């Protein structure tokens, strides 16, 4: 099935693509302690970078010069220079950093530290720690509102999305969601906040102004038991019309009409799909498949998986440089 998808996808891809802009993706490999660099022109890994232990959360800095990767078992965030593709520095996070987000200016980094119920604030320019915010048990998902005023942190055992005022660094609201919230994503116009609950098996749609849940996306895949559907990574197109949700061990990405919140399609990808990132032109969506050690490439407008790229062991996070 998978192979067939891939082959027919390849044909579409070969026919449809003309030499386009090449983009560079960085993928963290949780088990092999490496970062794979993917060139989207060739759709292959062009470099592999050795990093610290258990790399997971990964993001480009706003200026595109560095890639930050949380190496949880080393209790820090490493800084990769994209020119030399080498680790050149590290940032002082708290213990076991996993996911993080930065403000629009790229000056402040907010890190979820799973081990001590805190979010750490780091000054990116001076690379120093500015302080901590106490949140719920096992902080994980991080997102910043489009206007930069609100930071969202999700806590996995407390089962909440915490709304943090970035000016005062105080929690201003808490929204209870389903079990084990792992990821948070805003629509660009700040009209909705989506939070995935891995064990609860749902994605909560939250009104960022009223700070209440206005709806829930549920998943129903024939032949698959409910426990296997575990939503994690989320990506929403810039126009706010289409959402993609990684469903973990269900080995599928759900395509969601982001206006009606109805699931329109399930795309079969690799095993235990974690996180995802669009190419900057939004033509493709790349998703990491934790257990099958590869990255699936989804053609966004065709809503088809067109290719798979072998990376390191247990790929987890993925990020693109913004042009």
Partner 1 sequence: MIRWLVGVVGLGVVASHAFAADPIDIRVGYLGQVGIKSKLSLVEQPSENDGIAGARLAIEDNNTTGKFLNQRFFLEELRLKDGEDVAKAARALADRNGFIITDLPADTLLKVADALRDRKTVLLNAGVIDDRLREQDCRANVIHVAPTRSMLADALAQYLVWKQWKRWLLVVGSHDADKLYAEALRRAATRFGAKIVGERIFEDTGGARRTDSGVTLIQRQMPVFTQAAPAYDVLVAADESEVFASYLPYRTWDPRPIAGSAGLVPTSWDAAQDQWGAIQIQNRFIKSNSRRMTARDMQAWTAARMIGEAISRTNSGDPKAVFDFLKGPDFSVAAFKGQRLTLRDWNLQLRQPILLVDGRMVVSVSPQDGFLHQTSELDTLGVDRPETKCKLN
Identify the H or E element spanning 3.
helix 2-16
Phi, psi of 221 (to 5 degrees): -110, 115
Identified binder of partner 1 from the candidate list 180, 252, 275, 283, rule CB under 8 A: 180
Q: Does 56 bind partner 1 (CB under 8 A)?
A: no
Which lies closer to partner 1 via its Cβ, residue 114 or residue 294?
A: 114
Six token digits for residue 239: 């126009």
Task: Name every residue whose Cβ is closer than 8 Å to that of residue 235 and which is 6 or more positions away in sequence.
Answer: 185, 243, 244, 276, 277, 278, 285
Output 189 or 227, the one with its CB closest to partner 1.
227
Per CB under 8 A, the list member of 59, 78, 138, 294 interacting with partner 1 is 138
Nearer to partner 1, 138 or 299 (CB): 138
Please say which residue, 89 or 165, places its beta carbon nearer to partner 1. Answer: 165
Binding mask 149-168 for partner 1 (x = CB under 8 A): ------xxxxxx-x------
Interaction residues for partner 1, span 111-130 (CB under 8 A): 114-115, 117
Judge whether 277 and 232 are in contact, CB under 8 Å. Answer: no
Q: In the structure encoding, which two tokens stand for residue 279, read together?
A: 């190419």
Backbone angles phi, psi at 290, to 5 degrees: -60, -45
Strand bridging mode 76-81 / 97-102: unpaired
Is residue 52 part of the contact set for partner 1 (CB under 8 A)?
A: no
**CB closer to partner 1, 56 vs 283:** 56
In the bound state with partner 1, the residue whose beta carbon lies nearer, of 248 and 270, is: 248
Of the residues 122, 171, 253, 309, which one makes contact with partner 1 according to CB under 8 A: 171
Q: Binding to partner 1 by residue 145, rule CB under 8 A?
A: no
3-class SS letters over 225-242: CHHHCCCCCEEECCCCCE
Q: Contacts with partner 1: how many residues (CB under 8 A)?
A: 34
Tokens of 90: 């590290």
Site for partner 1 contains 90 (CB under 8 A): no
**255, 269 in Cβ contact below 8 A?**
no
> Which residues, 6 or more positions from 212, have their beta carbon under 8 angstroms from its beta carbon?
175, 206
Kindly list the residues in this chain that would bind partner 1 in the complex (CB under 8 A): 96, 114-115, 117, 136-138, 155-160, 162, 171-176, 179-180, 198-201, 211-213, 225, 227-228, 230, 249
């Amino acid at each position: 099935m998978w192979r067939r998808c891939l082959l027919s996808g390849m044909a579409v891809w070969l026919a449809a693509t003309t030499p386009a802009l090449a983009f560079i993706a960085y993928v963290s490999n949780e088990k092999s302690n490496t970062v794979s660099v993917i060139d989207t022109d060739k759709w292959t890994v062009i470099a592999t970078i050795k990093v610290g232990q258990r790399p997971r959360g990964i993001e480009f800095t706003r200026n595109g010069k560095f890639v930050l990767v949380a190496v949880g078992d080393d209790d820090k965030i490493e800084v990769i220079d994209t020119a030399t593709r080498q680790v050149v520095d590290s940032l002082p996070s708290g213990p076991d950093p996993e996911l993080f987000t930065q403000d629009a200016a790229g000056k402040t980094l907010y890190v979820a530290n799973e081990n001590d119920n805190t979010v750490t604030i780091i000054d990116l320019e001076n690379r120093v720690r500015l302080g901590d915010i106490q949140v719920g048990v096992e902080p994980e998902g991080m997102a910043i509102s489009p206007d930069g005023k609100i930071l969202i942190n999700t806590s996995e055992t407390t089962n909440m999305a915490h709304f943090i005022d970035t000016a005062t660094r105080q929690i201003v609201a808490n929204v209870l969601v389903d079990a084990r919230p792992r990821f948070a994503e805003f629509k660009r116009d700040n009209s909705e906040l989506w939070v995935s609950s891995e064990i609860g098996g749902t994605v909560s749609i939250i009104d960022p102004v009223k700070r209440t849940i206005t709806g829930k996306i549920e998943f129903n895949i024939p032949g698959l038991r409910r426990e296997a559907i575990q939503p994690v990574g989320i990506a929403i197109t810039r126009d706010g019309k289409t959402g993609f949700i990684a469903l973990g061990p269900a080995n599928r990405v759900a395509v969601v009409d982001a206006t009606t919140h109805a699931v329109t399609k399930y795309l079969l990808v690799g095993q235990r799909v974690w996180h995802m990132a669009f190419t900057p032109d939004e033509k493709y969506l790349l998703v990491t498949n934790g257990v099958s050690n590869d990255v699936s490439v989804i053609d966004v407008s065709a809503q088809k998986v067109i290719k798979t790229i072998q990376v390191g062991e247990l790929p987890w996070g993925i990020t693109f440089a913004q042009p």
